[in-house]
């Protein structure tokens, strides 16, 4: 579909599968850690695997915290990238970017509710959403996480662990998924395609 | 896998060729598999690592998660596999030889990337862990009780267990539900059952009786004895919640 996507190279390890998924949709991808390149991007994806504090440190060291905060083009946070957009995370008491209100909290673990929450979970849409257009209620997506953001007014889709948590958020030009769209089969491809054509109303 | 082809043995011996990696991966993905695991069984016994050229090709093809196992002995090897697009790495014999590997992998990549595979044998002295199970001439008991190893590995940062019950491997007589239930109660990370699937009922049994998060099988899928789509419809009818195969979403 000819979209250009710049993926913030924050040193995480899930970048390859994201690149492949976007390429399957015909998008051109660039990895970037350079502030000017990211500011000039058509669309930006903030990925993330690992711990919140480390990831924030890497963004800080690359001088990218304010760059991300000030982006006005469509931005998609994926997995930890979603939590980085929030105020904070309980994980090592990390301060995050503070773009979307909320603090990521640890999922409770037991033999019947294992953590990490790793596997396929059904999504439930909570309001009209650009990202979830064409996605039926109850569609399964692939999650891998130990922390999650609580449901808020910016949540457009939820999934359930011990209780509902925010699975998809949309706020201004920032959208994010707690699951991995690049590993969520045809549903994930639809969600990524929706992001590639998303024109957020500022 | 051995030398770029998929092979399958019976009780870890006599491996037969069952097909090209990419072809098989695409088929399982299409049929509705939730995740694929690639084991390089020749890796550990020979003291070498997997040839990883194929990882990128699999990553480019698949839109479901996959895990790579075999001969990952250090952080650098794990990093290479994850950078090529694998979602998880699984360690087995190298973690038994050097349990600190689990800590190192979890702190570098996060527990969610670190699967610990356990080959467990039910014998006179209870459930015991074995290592180097890819090569019958090198397989040996690791002198650890399975449940002790599960607890230790979780404390060190394991994010998932694949428990392969060796007595059941490839013989299609059902999962070892009792052993799996005991491991389920000993850990709070995801647990995947492996070894013994022969019929659709076996899958339903292990989900019901052992409360596992996933069930892994090879023989019955490689031989097409069980179709993944049909299995998922069977499980759904049995009241077990599963992701519907792509294109068969039921509302």
Contacts of B35 in chain A (CB under 8 A): 119
Please tell me which residue of chain B has the smallest CA distance to A109: B188
Q: Domain range holding A21?
A: 4-196
Residues B100-153: tens digit of each pLDDT = 999 999 988 888 899 999 999 999 889 999 987 767 777 788 789 999 999 999
Tell me the C-alpha distance between A63 and B103, whole Å: 30
Nearest to B185 among A17, A111, A183 (CB): A111
- Per-residue pLDDT for B189 more than 90? yes
What's the predicted TM-score (pTM) here?
Answer: 0.92
Nearest to A183 among B64, B84, B191 (CB): B64
- Please give the mean pLDDT across all residues of chain A: 94
Indicate whether A202 belongs to any domain: no
- Which CATH number is B181's domain given? 3.20.20.70
Indicate whether B69 belongs to any domain: yes
Tell me the C-alpha distance between B231 and B242, whole Å: 10
The pair phi, psi for residue B59, each rounded to 5°, is: -60, -35
- Which CATH number is A150's domain given? 3.40.50.880
What is the domain count for chain A? 1
Indicate whether A161 belongs to any domain: yes
Indicate whether B61 belongs to any domain: yes
Q: Is A79 a catalytic residue?
A: yes
What local confidence, expressed as pLDDT, does residue B132 receive?
Answer: 78
What is the domain count for chain B? 1
- What confidence tier does B250 reach under pLDDT thresholds 50, 70, 90? very low
Query: Parallel, antiparallel, or unpaired: how do β-strands B126-131 and B140-145 relate?
Result: antiparallel
Q: Domain range holding B97?
A: 5-237
Q: Say yes or no for a CB contact (<8 Å) between A118 and B190.
A: yes
- What confidence tier does B49 reach under pLDDT thresholds 50, 70, 90? low
A95-99, A118-122, A164-168, B77-81: which has the minimum mean pLDDT?
Answer: B77-81
A70 SS3 class: coil
Indicate whether B247 belongs to any domain: no
Indicate whether B244 belongs to any domain: no
Tell me the C-alpha distance between A162 and A73, whole Å: 35
Report residue A185 as tokens.
């089969």
CA angle B189, B194, B198 (to 5 degrees): 145
pLDDT above 90: percentage of residues in chain A: 89
- For residue B232, the Cα-to-chain-centroid distance in whole angstroms is 19
Q: Please, are residues A21 and A188 in contact by the beta-carbon 8 Å criterion?
A: yes
């Amino acid at each position: 579909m000819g979209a250009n996507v710049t993926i913030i190279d924050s040193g995480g390890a899930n970048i390859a599968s994201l690149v492949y998924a976007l390429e399957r949709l015909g998008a051109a991808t660039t990895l970037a850690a350079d502030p000017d390149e990211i500011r000039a991007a058509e669309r930006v994806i903030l990925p993330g695997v690992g711990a919140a504090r480390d990831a924030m440190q890497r963004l800080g060291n690359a001088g990218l915290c304010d760059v991300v905060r000030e982006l006005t083009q469509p931005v998609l946070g994926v997995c930890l990238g979603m939590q980085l957009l929030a105020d904070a995370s309980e994980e090592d008491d990390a301060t995050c970017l503070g773009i979307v209100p909320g603090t990521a909290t640890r999922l409770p673990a037991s033999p019947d509710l294992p953590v990490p929450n790793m596997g396929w979970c059904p999504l439930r849409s909570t309001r009209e959403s650009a990202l979830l257009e064409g996605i039926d209620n109850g569609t399964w997506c692939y999650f891998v996480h130990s922390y999650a953001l609580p449901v808020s007014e910016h949540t457009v889709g939820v999934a359930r662990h011990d209780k509902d948590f925010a699975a998809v958020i949309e706020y201004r030009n920032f959208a994010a998924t707690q699951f991995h769209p690049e590993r969520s089969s045809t549903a994930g491809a639809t969600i990524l395609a929706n992001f590639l054509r998303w024109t957020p109303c500022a | 896998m051995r030398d770029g082809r998929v092979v399958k043995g019976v009780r870890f011996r006599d491996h037969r060729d069952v097909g090209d990696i990419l072809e098989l991966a695409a088929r399982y993905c299409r049929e509705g598999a939730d995740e694929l695991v690639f084991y390089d069984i020749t890796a550990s016994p020979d003291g070498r690592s997997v040839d990883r050229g194929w990882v990128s090709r699999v990553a480019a093809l698949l839109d479901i998660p996959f895990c790579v196992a075999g001969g990952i002995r250090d952080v650098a090897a794990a990093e290479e596999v994850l950078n090529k697009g694998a979602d998880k790495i699984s360690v087995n014999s190298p973690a038994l030889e050097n349990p600190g590997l689990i800590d190192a992998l979890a702190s570098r990549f996060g527990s969610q990337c670190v699967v610990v595979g356990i080959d467990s044998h039910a014998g006179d002295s209870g459930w015991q862990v074995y290592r180097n199970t890819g090569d019958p001439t090198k397989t040996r008991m690791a002198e650890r009780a399975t449940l002790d190893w599960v607890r230790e590995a979780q404390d060190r940062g394991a994010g998932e267990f694949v428990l392969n019950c060796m007595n059941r491997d490839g013989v299609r007589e059902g999962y070892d539900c009792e052993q799996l239930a005991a491991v389920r109660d000993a850990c709070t990370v995801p647990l995947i059952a492996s070894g013994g699937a022969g019929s659709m009922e076996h899958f339903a049994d292990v989900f019901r009786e052992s409360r596992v998060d996933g069930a892994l099988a090879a023989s019955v899928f490689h031989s097409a004895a069980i179709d993944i789509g049909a299995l998922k419809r069977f499980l759904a009818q049995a009241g077990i919640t599963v992701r519907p195969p792509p294109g068969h979403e039921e509302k």
